Structure 1
């Protein structure tokens, strides 16, 4: 953008804009890589955010995997890495892996001397964002995930500010500001995996739940006399639509004698594949789970009135049947006034959404943070 365009966009006076631009140019947070077309005088300098030198680190810590991305300041992914989260993935292993991966990622960048200025983590709750602590997240395969001061652990290793939120929140933030939801005022993001995780971005505001628990939607009751949930209630969505529910339902019905090419202890991936190949039991189990999800989604749509609902996560990725049945049932059951809602499978950022959202969260919090008096030289991490 030229100075005249920046003046129009910000409403600042020329002297004020020039005063703001000066330190940003000195720090190379703003550059002038090219000139615009002349309208009769000198060609105007075009200001831009650099795509090298400064980077953001985004991390998605989920129950079965971890994704780490390095982005530029426009949230374009430069490098991405994926890790399984097994029984070895303690908090200490996870933090050290993030720090080592960040170092390796910087080494892969073309620009020497580049550094990570902020990092953001999207993970599972409950958590205290103010204290940067994961309180007691469930279903991690490794032990030790209680009262984890993950922000301080990462800040010590990375040497830069670290932001924290639940992964569904970071995903919906990224999709709303930089992805498929940029022109939509109300966006709902639902991740279907070991649990049901939800993020909501409404009229420019990220809606957060108490203790930033991302699985509140999973405890919406859809069958008052239904299955017993781990929370103590009966008939929660979590009992019907998750990976755990799908495998448990398949195993129970298989042991009761219903025919299938798969054994009772088949994995959820095998069940998704078998359904696609025409296995009647696998197909029925997935349809049943997706139907309940669609009913829950219809209630959510009636309440919030979103223009866009993004369905994501392992079950959505591996089973088109699961996605189609859930979206179809939600549209069928939604109140007529909400019939115009649009569904999308995976979103624009797909599997990178939560990690890129971590970087987006870090950037948004940097923008909203109180200004410091001066900028000091920094190490490669901050």
Structure 2
């Protein structure tokens, strides 16, 4: 994918960067030592949250942790496993294991009165016409293993393609340990950026033990494209714009997919929607509340939050990431150029 010379690859290798970093990062402007390198990102940042990292990356476990923040937690309806839908309700028999795994006590009789149901029956009873659900594997990120189910005119659309009940049942049987989640409706601001994906903000929080407070070193607005759809991920062709931490104003959007360099867009290349200068509505309230949540979860000092802006100052948390990707962050500026951020990574033996 990345057409780099042998000399360029060797230069990157000696500085512990992968080929992708040679395309995304601006080594002409910034010294390579100011960037969190790929060895530090892939090997060392995974240690920061210790055993709590497994619970962050387990989407079901993290959903339970967010139970104390109900106004910002999206709904998880249940789990697909072994061809059955396991509903989460008062009689829920789901256990989140201490290592971040999932254990289920599965009833032997899939009677409809029990939490274990035929998934098509549950979808038929639950989904109204025009409504959607998100199906995502309980672990992993990067927009992988995410599917969208919509009911339209009495039929089902799976990732935009129509399926019969038989085809859908066969497809769902292959989805092992997939969560059935609420489709969070984004607010007007996010929809105007690009209407065909849910456009999330990735905000990184770090807990400063010296100051005893969380801070946001960087946040970016991810924006989908026809390449990335149905998700908004930078790694799959989406754009990302830096959110000014004080004002909430967006920078130009960066994009590198199928390119040998980063391309910057003041407006969306497909819709023409303005990106640079557009402000996240109610950013002060969003930032303040997210930091309050991060402070309450101070035992998880390093979290990459994926949030959907649903209104002015309002948001819902889609998931957290314990070993968050940094390409979409450092395309804007190297993380280690900020002294407070460098101190955090140094404190946790990353740099």
**TM-score scaled to structure 1, two decimals?**
0.25
- Based on CA coordinates, which of the two structures has the bigger radius of gyration? 1
**TM-score scaled to structure 2, two decimals?**
0.26
